[in-house]
Chains A and B, each alone.
Chain A
């Protein structure tokens, strides 16, 4: 195990961005820094740490503690170095008799109102107050404070009104006001870094206290989203991780990458022995710049949850209880079964599903298993159910499915269109960066059926919220194009240079048709024409325009068409190819991008190259020594269909829970039940495992080496910080399985990777956009955005800079085709689905952490009007039914949704929201139409019949036979 302690120096104040340089002298040394830098930071640049308490480089300086005083030649007094900017020629002194005395005086005041229980304090060794007492040479405190904040009773035994007991309501950190020095670092972190404004300083002078909003609010009931920014900023034990309180301070740290969402935040995993003490966002992480959300920062407890399965298990039939076996026996059992299926039903009767939660190297091996061992192209990934339309739509128009920007780009954006994405819940760290830009003046247009948090939140208000009817994305996007074309708002010079002008003419003619005008589409979409026109004008003419979109765009029967429409908008307004603009898919799971890059789709080899291409097949045939099938393989829904028909019999499913995450649960269940060998490779006995014959226990991201690729195409390292509790990293398990099957086929085990870096080398060797990627390179650069090759050895932060990947950008008509999923008398409401901050995807991990404190169940949001006519009150149990099935859950009556629309999340298996969703899917990619289902809602008494049956089947299927 490697030790990656990288000094994380606190420079006291944020870096200045100016290009003007200024030279000054500090303690006799010359230093040259950008204009606007504080004296404190300038000193830190040359290694001089001026004592400080209220300053830290994640937030703007405030100048309240007066510990950082310095003297400047020719200026009066002793200014605070954190709030005083540099100027040319200044001569600064940071240490002399006078300054020493002043600082000691300041510290004395602080310490007199601070409990002196350092030895038993949880921050012992990690406390800046302690450090500063040492730094200023504080040796005694000359007076005893009569009034304090830390004594529960005063000297005469009366209750001290200033004493506030510790708030332990948040499951992950505690707030202990007696140790607070009111430096306000936490308040500023919550405002500036996170953008939630949950904390305030109440009162003045001696009475001032940090508070979670209203008097009655605890940390848990307040607006706090538990991102941990305040905890990281707090210099004392006041705001502190409970894990530190329980375990003690860490002794080493390893840089790794969050395994939850597509932002791909970098973290320091802080360890003591092989115990993970805490996860701290890594300041030099290029995706997150030192910030995090509750999931990555705190919700790692699932790794040691008791539900985790640590031994392989097998069974003859899915009605049998599980039998724990050795790895060798599990491999042999599986190999014999799979080989048997292939012999009887042919090589096309088996396949694999790769995971967007696993590493690139693991996804690569799983698709290699089907292509080089099973000899077919039956590989798919759960990215099918989220971003496959992005691949198609952007591929057709721009030439690559890649998002065009890095996250830093948002700092240069003037107008943001957010379509079908809810970043404050789904991509929280990106949302914080976006909100920061919005507070600085950028404009926001939200296109979403639901009033998401970002539409109106502290110091942010969207200029336009187009609350469209679910399923009408294409009509809205085309109407935006209609306005841009008919009002002449397009960027002719850009189009002439970068696209085909004639093609644009055709498209413009299409877009300009009267039926595409906002006035004509308003009836259909429910979006006011005036509002839509204003939004189009703002995007086209408001400066740098960037579009960010999520699953609300892709998970529709016209998902691919909407993506095409979005690319059209960006091209016609010239908003592509520089900082601050672009088309940015916000990917759901941590490695959606990577699993797609790695050839997980049945028609493409790694690097998005169609299997029909002979040259491409040739590359892999050479390396793998096999013949590669030139026909596309089955996609997940096709696999299930084929299973029902009896031509698809065996499936290896790594790190995915298709039974819970895929639409039309009943169809998935029937398909799985029809197979002879279902191999589930996961951390927990997930829902799919109820239909499995083999269960291979997986490893967590803490237990293996590898890489994840985030939504900005950034390849980040995942580093092993502890040994796999199940015995093997996931890539080793896939390799064992491949070798077992090869052996069974009398070919002989010939996979021999000994480290994931060798897998990456193979990827680099076969895939041009990864040609320059290696673990050594990642070590040097920290992370790299593909394409990374000879032309771009440092990677590519921005795509399409000097021309589109496909040559000329292509405009494609986007005809609106209404989904066949329509409301009618039986199912009069439209259901749309989404996610919330504290839970992740199907919730298998987050449900097994203290995050359940925020989301114990899925709720159905319904408009007060729709609720009233059905006699539904807030909190009632309701029955939710579609033509596919029904389930029941509790209602949340709210006007966040429009009348006629209901909304729920899908994090809990008991709810089984996908029992409701139908099998309609995107025309181009079969990405399921999660976002629109016609439903009826009515009062109910409890769980539906399906939920009861399902619970019984699951309980039956999860039995593990007692070891003999």
Chain B
């Protein structure tokens, strides 16, 4: 699988979580989105998410961008 499709997949999955969290009160949604990713995404996946975020986060829903600073940046893979 090419890196582009891998990234596309992660963006898709992050957005899927965002869509659920968007129906919650805003602050709670942001916090829960971040903790969901922290709790369930293995560091390699979070690294890739940060690769996208560091590039400006194109394709990610606003809630993911907002939650970004609450998502744990893995030390190394």
Contact = CB atoms under 8 A, between A and B. Distances in A.
Interface of A: 346, 348, 377-378, 506, 510, 557, 560-561, 602-603, 610, 612, 631-635, 638, 641-642, 644-645, 647, 670, 812-815, 817, 919, 921, 923-926
Contact of A348 (B13, B17, B22, B44): B44
B42 interface: yes
Contact of B16 (A557, A602, A919): A557
B4 to A, nearest CB: 12
Interface string B16-47: 11011011110000000000101111111100
A645 B6 contact: yes
B19 A815 contact: yes
Contacts of B3: 645
6 contacts: A602-B42, A634-B42, A634-B44, A635-B42, A921-B13, A923-B20
Contacts of A812: 24
Contacts, number: 68
Contacts of B44: 348, 634, 638, 642, 647
Contact of A644 (B1, B39, B42, B74): B1
A641 B77 contact: no
**Interface of A (DSSP majority class):** loop
A401 B77 CA distance: 31
Given A638-B45, A641-B9, A644-B1, A815 B20 contact: yes
A641 B1 contact: yes
Contacts of A634: 42, 44
Contact of A645 (B1, B20, B25, B42): B1
B13 A923 contact: yes
A632 B46 CA distance: 11
A485 to B, nearest CB: 16
A815 B63 CA distance: 16
B42 A631 contact: yes
A815 B23 contact: yes
Contacts of B77: 346, 348, 647
A478 to B, nearest CB: 11
Nearest to B37: A632
Given A561-B20, A635-B40, A647-B44, 7 more contacts: A612-B38, A612-B39, A631-B42, A632-B40, A641-B9, A813-B23, A815-B23
Contacts of A642: 44
Nearest to B12: A820
Given A641-B1, A641-B6, A632 B17 contact: no
Given A638-B45, A641-B9, A603 B19 contact: no
Contacts of B20: 560-561, 815, 817, 923-924
A348 B6 CA distance: 19
A670 B5 CA distance: 15
Contacts of A815: 19-20, 22-23
Interface centre among B3, B40, B42 (most CB of A within 10 A): B42
Given A644-B1, A817-B20, A923-B20, A603 B9 contact: no
> Which residue among A632, A644, A813 has the maximum number of chain B CB atoms within 10 Å of its CB?
A632
Contacts of B41: 632
A612 B35 CA distance: 11
A612 B72 CA distance: 12
